[in-house]
A and B are shown apart, each in its own frame.
Chain A
Amino acid sequence: MGIENFQYISFVQSDWIWLIVAAPLLGAVLNGLLTLASIGTRKTVAPAVYSTIACGGAILSFLASWFTFLHFKTLPEGSTLTQDLFNWIEAGSFHVRMNFELDALSITMIVFVTFVSSLIHLYSVGYMKDDPGLGRYFAYLNFFLFSMLVLVMAQNLLVLFLGWEGVGFCSYLLIGFWFEDEVKANAGKKAIIVNRIGDAGFMAGLLMVFALSGTLNFNEILAHKQAFNEWTATVVCLCFFFGAAGKSAQIPLYVWLPDAMAGPTPVSALIHAATMVTAGIYLVARLNFLYVLAPWATTVVAVVGALTALLAATLALAQNDIKKVLAYSTISQLGYMFLGVGVSAYSAGMFHLITHGFFKACLFLAAGSVIHALQGEQDIRKMGGLLKHIPLTSIGFLLGWLAISGVMPFCGGFFSKDEILWRALATPNPILAVLPEILYFTALFTAFLTAFYMTRLVVLVFFGDYRGDRNIYEHLHESPRIMTVPLLLLAVGSLVSGWLDVPRAIGGGQTLSRFLEPVFHLSTVEPTGVSEKMEPLFMLLSFLVAGLGLGSAWYVYGLKHTISQLLLKMIPGGKKAIEKEYYVDEIYEVTVVRWTKWFAHWVSERLVEGLFIGQLVALPVRAAAWTARLFQKAQVGFVRAYLAYVVAGAGLLIYLILH
């Protein structure tokens, strides 16, 4: 059965979508070569040159994506744009072509990724302008964009993996961008190694898919869907989810993301909030036709998502580093997205991916601007009352805050989060009947926590009195326009992105869901548990819960500051545990890391290499050496000795012949 039997997709050849990826690649190569040349010749290149090349690459890519989107809208529903570049690997039964395919899902991703990315490139021009490694920075950033686009445009799993590993590697380079600082270099290392552990799952999934369906091309896997039964699909989906958990920072592999904040703040905004970390959600959404076959796997995805959302939200409650709060918040929001795709509400997951991308990028850029204004200070205990000093930044941050807390209807995260919550409740679980309720209340409680910790952050940073260093206070200044404009554009984005998918229940058009319909139509499980008419009621409930979170945090931190101290003291050890991030790093250190080292030391080095190889395998060699030494000893150098050997030998020969 070939792909032609699958009528839903009609392929439209396109010969220019490669431009979308080529522009940032060219930018990366040019900036990379310029940097190398400037090192080699010891001449400096003007920062404007690097910036122009990099921003040019990103913006060109955005324009190309936008035109592709416009072109795509003119095509009949269900068609995809494809481009076949070249034959990548072909050996025996294994064929993989380097090819791209844009369906509604990929188009959504590329427009979103290139738009956010262009803004962050512009912001970086201001943020990084005094850094001596500017060329290197922009080369990495452009290369990241290239890899991310390859990831979302890939037509097969191997090309996707090319982008997948590419973004992971760029993330390594950018987290450890200031590599002279050992802590930062180690944070990068941790990210890439933890991601590699996840990639083992990806690789295993890839091998299984090829063994079962004989292809890695998404359309052909879909056409060979019957090659998967429930169990093989479950194993494959769990393997891929393990990979996704690495890239998208879910339990048990989320530990690298909080450390990743060591990178420059625009990088945190672009890679560790808006785009790269969503690759895992994209992967699950891309393979939706496999996940729908595996109820166990989707249940795992949903449960892990909900648990991660809750765990990370509690960790965000008491962090004192502004970027760390946002980092845990990102992990928590990614958990929501996995909850969404885990209950087969793929468009809801994608919707939240986009709204989150806008408001979290906005929050990070604003945080970067705050850090910039405070000359590198990241501790929120040393901030306060910044609203009047850096008004533009503050407005951006506040809009992002409203969006993430979900207290303002029609703004950013409100509908997307609500859609996920409602779908979690309304989608019956075939394995555990009470699971929808558990998931719903976990997510609802997380929404309360989200509003709470974000309000805490806002109050401590922007309201009250300034608590930091006086010297810095004197020089407080708003960031240049190249930074505030992208930031405010993203703030506007977080406001309007909520309109992308207003639910039907309150008379919305569900634009995004309908756009994505052709991709997910086979896998979307229609909600049956709770009637759609009830949705506004749940909306109201989550609005109230979020408002409660916001209000109580405002009360605790804004008005009665002493209560916050009391609250933390209420749970013995709770504050310490949160500050130590539940000792997860320490637990991994004494388990996974130490066990591996133990195994390597005792089994590989001592037992195998020392005893087995050193003693047993080397035995014949030792025997040869020993014999050689014996003969060496026989060469005494006296004629009479040699004569004796001859006589003895001759005697032996005669004896042998006579017998």
Chain B
Amino acid sequence: MILSILIGLPLLGALGVGLFPNEKAAKALSLAVALVAFVFSLALYTGFDPSDGGFQFRELHPLVPTVGIQYSLGLDGISLWLILLTTFLTPLVILGSFDSIRQNVRGFFACVLLLESAMVGTLASTDLFLFYLFWELMLIPAFFLIGLWGGPNRVKATLQFVLFTMLGSLLMLVALLYVTHEVKSFDYTALFEHAFPQDVQFWCFLAFALAFLIKVPLFPFHAWLPDAYTEAPAGGTVLLSAVMVKLGAYGLLRFCIPLFPEAAKGFAPWIMVLAVAGVVHGALMATLQKDFKRLAAYSSFSHMGLIVLGIFTFSLTGLQGGILQMVGHGIYMAGLFLLIGMLYDRRGSHEMAAYGGIAKALPLLSFAFMWMMLSAVGLPGFGGFSGEVLLLISAYQSSPLLALTAIAGFVLAAWYLFNFYGRVFLGPLPREFPKFPDLSPREMGAILPLALLSLWVGLGPNFFLQPIEKTLEMKVIEKLKPPPAMTDFAAEQRRIQEAVEQEKKGR
């Protein structure tokens, strides 16, 4: 029931908020709904059995029996932390956006709740039709979030974002219909147990992966990202960067790799090369930005590349590191984008040139920013490091050259982030700089949980790593092992025969 509650509650909340006449009450209601959803989601952790790699919290109801579509939900190690991350971040986004949204307030909070519902639905679906439904449903609130409450270039940003995502989704839909037709079921487990022939794997992997890799985004499919991140309102950017792009990585782990393992192995070197290209390219682009929201956007993109790199090593270290880093990245990116939003609320600009020396005027905000930034820099003990080191370790074992290249991202991150911090927060305060209030209790309430959690991920990553181990072993690693195949046996026989013939000839 919990998964249904987590999908249904925000959905109902969205409707309620939309219908509420009073804006203030609508804000309070949306916060309350998101908080209740978070409390419910905690039961997912307490009730989760780490020794069971299969789906837990199952819910199964026939939806369209004639074609085999089911309302089928489930949770395993791959989706556990991402669902919790979603339910954890949503109330913080709502709290953080209380004062920054001034127009059409009820619509905004309804969209945020709708997005939460769709994201949880995407993560919890174990029926492919349902999954696709939620996957596309996400696009609607995201579209409005950027398009209605975004910055000056929001139209172009929205168009790019929607078109890119749709393009990937359509290809995935074709592949999805094909594979479900083959298996005669939309059920994930049925697909999981089915072994597809090589050529089917090749094309279907490509179609699925394209949708997910555009979402992540993998280099060079990131054309939509800088504009979308920059133009979206702070709360929207948080949901995009912290959760939504993770769904791309989730899709790779859930569908691409286990359903089409042979193709995944074939494509892995290419994807890894592109991932590292993204790490370096994103970091280099970040060094050039004068708009710091855009800088953070490129930084986020650069760090996502490392996650894809780790996942495609197909080692337990890389996979666990990938999921850990999704949590870590989600937390620090949420913190950074929320704080960037708070700066914007005060000064009304994302240009570095509009700031300078504000650590003097806003010490608490500056301290909070440094704290979240240290995660992004990858300082050991903070959230960004523990995942990063696992990803690099695993990457080095499959390709030393790629891992060593990816270290460039680690160096450049310090370069662009400390430069940015120096320009915006340090130095003399410009004389004409208006007086702004420091963090309000509400804003602290939005940042503090993120700051503490970031430290937790950095110092106690095992809490996050341990429950997902079994699932990854069972559902990903196991599938990638070469089958104890007849082909090997046949080859062996052939070899024996050849040897015998050679011997005969020799005689």
A residues adjacent to B (C-beta < 8 A): 36, 39-40, 86-94, 158, 161-162, 165-166, 169, 172, 176, 179-182, 185-186, 189, 192-193, 196-197, 199-200, 203-204, 207-208, 210-211, 596-597, 599-601, 603-605, 608-609, 612-614, 617-618, 620-621, 624-625
Which of A86, A162, A599, A614 contacts B380, CB < 8 Å? A162
Residue of B nearest to A179 (CB): B426
| Nearest chain A CB to B300 CB, angstrom units | 16
With a CB–CB cut-off of 8 A, which chain B residues contact A192?
Answer: 414, 418
- Bound-state CA distance A605–B386 (Å) is 30
CA distance A556 to B164 in the complex (A): 75
Closest to B286 in A: A600
Contact of A625 among B159, B407, B460 (CB under 8 A): B159
- Rounded to whole angstroms, the CA-CA distance of A105 and B317 in the bound complex is 33
CB pair B220–A180 under 8 Å, yes or no, is: no
Pairwise interchain contact B400-A185, C-beta atoms closer than 8 A = no
Give complex CA distance A621, B168 in Å: 11
B383 within 8 A of A: no
Query: Known contacts being A90-B465, A192-B414, is A604 close to B396, with CB within 8 Å?
Result: no
Q: Is A596 within 8 A of B287, CB to CB?
A: yes
**Residue numbers in A under 8 Å from B419 (CB-CB):** 189, 193
Interface contact B324-A180, CB-CB below 8 Å: no
A92 touches B163 (CB 8 A): no
**Contact between A91 and B320 (Cβ–Cβ < 8 Å)?**
yes
Within 8 Å by CB of B363, from A39, A186, A211, lies A39
Contact A196 B427 (CB under 8 A): no
Which B377-403 residues have a C-beta within 8 angstroms of A? 379-381, 386, 389-390, 392-394, 396-397, 400, 403
Contacting residues, chain A, for B422 (C-beta < 8 A): 185-186, 189
Question: Are the CB atoms of A621 and B160 closer together than 8 Å?
Answer: yes
Q: How does the 8 Å CB contact mask read for B444-481 relative to A, with 1 for contact and 0 for none? A: 00000000000000011110011001000000000000
- The answer to whether B285 touches A604 (Cβ under 8 A) is yes
Q: Is the CB of B411 within 8 A of A199?
A: yes
Question: With A604-B288, A625-B163 known to touch, is A203 a contact of B392 (CB < 8 Å)?
Answer: yes
**Contact residues in A for B164 (Cβ distance below 8 Å):** 621
Does B167 interact with chain A (Cβ within 8 Å)? yes
Docked-complex contact B364 and A211, CB < 8 angstroms: no
Give the chain B neighbours of A172 by CB distance below 8 A: 418
Please give, as numbers and ranges, the residues of chain A lying within 8 Å of B389 by CB-CB distance. 89, 158
Contacts A172-B418, A211-B393, A621-B160 aside, 6 further interface pairs with beta carbons under 8 A come to A161-B380, A179-B426, A180-B429, A203-B392, A612-B220, A624-B163
B394 to A, closest residue via Cβ? A92
Residues of A within 8 A of B428 (CB): 180-182
Which residues of B have CB within 8 Å of A599?
Answer: 284
Instruction: Check B364–A39 contact: CB distance below 8 A.
Output: yes
**In the bound complex, do residue B408 and residue A200 qualify as a contact, i.e. CB atoms below 8 Å apart?**
yes
CB pair B220–A617 under 8 Å, yes or no, is yes
Q: Is the CB of B315 within 8 A of A211?
A: no
A186 proximity list for chain B (CB < 8 A):
422
Instruction: Name the 3 nearest CB pairs between A and B, nearest first.
Output: A92-B316, A92-B317, A185-B426
Contacting pair A617 B223 (CB below 8 A): yes
Contact of A176 among B316, B426, B460 (CB under 8 A): B426
What are the residues of chain B within 8 A of A609 when measuring CB–CB? 281, 285
B357 CB within 8 Å of chain A: yes
Measured in the bound complex, the distance between the Cα atoms of B411 and A39 in whole Å is 33
Q: What residues of chain B lie closer than 8 Å to A180, measured between beta carbons?
A: 357, 360, 426-429
Residue with the highest number of chain A CB atoms closer than 10 Å, among B163, B222, B324, B419: B163
- A203 & B317 in contact (Cβ 8 Å cutoff): no
Q: Determine whether the beta carbon of A89 is less than 8 Å from that of B462.
A: yes
If A162-B381, A199-B411, A618-B223 touch, whether A94 touches B393 (CB-CB below 8 Å) is: yes
Interface positions of B from 315 to 367, Cβ below 8 Å from A: 315-321, 324, 357, 359-360, 363-364, 367
Task: Give chain A residues whose Cβ lies under 8 Å from the Cβ of B159.
Answer: 625
Q: Report if A189-B418 is in contact (Cβ < 8 Å); known contacts: A180-B427, A617-B223.
A: yes
* Separation of A451 and B367 alpha carbons in the complex (Å): 45
Q: State A87–B403 Cα separation when bound (angstroms).
A: 25
Main secondary structure of the interface of A (DSSP, over half): helix
Closest CB in chain B relative to A579 CB, distance in Å: 26
Pick from B223, B287, B414 the residue with the most CB of A within 10 Å: B414
Chain A hits for B414, CB < 8 A: 192-193, 196
In the complex, the chain A residue whose C-beta lies closest to that of B316 is: A92
Q: Do A203 and B465 touch (CB < 8 A)?
A: no
CA distance A357 to B48 in the complex (A): 54
Residues of B within 8 A of A210 (CB): 393, 396
Mark interface residues in B414-445 (1 if CB within 8 Å of A CB, else 0): 11001100100111110000000010000000
Q: Is B404 at the interface (CB under 8 A from chain A)?
A: yes
A–B Cβ pairs within 8 angstroms, 18 of them: A90-B465, A91-B317, A161-B380, A162-B380, A162-B381, A166-B381, A180-B360, A180-B426, A182-B428, A189-B422, A207-B393, A211-B393, A601-B288, A603-B284, A604-B284, A617-B221, A621-B167, A625-B159
- Asked if B288 contacts A169 (CB within 8 A), the reply is no
Flag if A40 contacts B287 (CB, 8 Å): no
B85 to chain A, nearest CB (A): 18
Q: How far is the CA of A3 from the CA of B204 in the complex (A)?
A: 49
Known: A179-B426, A185-B427. A613 touches B317 (CB 8 A): no
Q: What are the residues of chain A within 8 A of B319 when measuring CB–CB? A: 92
B223:A614 contact, CB within 8 angstroms:
yes
Q: How far, in whole Å, are A158 and B396 apart by their CA atoms in the complex? A: 16
Q: For residue A86, which residues in chain B have a CB less than 8 angstroms away from its CB?
A: 460
- B118: shortest Cβ distance to chain A, in Å? 23
Whole-angstrom distance between the alpha carbons of A599 and B288 in the complex? Answer: 11
Q: Are B288 and A605 in contact (CB under 8 A)?
A: yes
Give the residue of A92, A162, A203 whose beta carbon is less than 8 angstroms from that of B315. A92
Find chain B residues with CB under 8 A from A89 CB: 386, 389-390, 461-462, 465
Q: Is B410 an interface residue (CB 8 A)?
A: yes
Asked if B374 lies at the interface with its beta carbon under 8 angstroms from chain A, I say yes
Residue in B316, B359, B403 whose CB lies within 8 Å of A93: B316
- What A residues does B316 contact at CB under 8 A? 91-93
Minimum C-beta distance from A306 to chain B (A): 28
Would you give the shortest CB distance from A581 to chain B, in whole angstroms? 22
Q: Taking the nearest CB of chain A, how far is it from the CB of B382, in angstroms? A: 10
Interface centre among B392, B404, B426 (most CB of A within 10 A): B426
A contact residues around B404 at 8 Å (CB): 204, 207
Complex formed: what's the CA distance from A497 to B389 in Å? 40
Q: Are B410 and A87 in contact (CB under 8 A)?
A: no
* Chain B residues with CB below 8 A from A600, complex form: 284-285, 287-288
Docked complex Cα distance between A189 and B360 (Å): 17
Partner of B427, one of A166, A182, A200: A182
Tell me which residues from 75 to 126 in chain B have a Cβ below 8 Å from any Cβ of chain A.
none
User: How far is A91 from B320 in the complex, measured between Cα atoms in Å?
Assistant: 6
Is the beta-carbon distance between A179 and B359 smaller than 8 angstroms?
Answer: yes
Nearest CB to that of A183 among chain B residues?
B427
**Which among B320, B357, B364, B426 is the interface contact of A40 at CB below 8 angstroms?**
B364
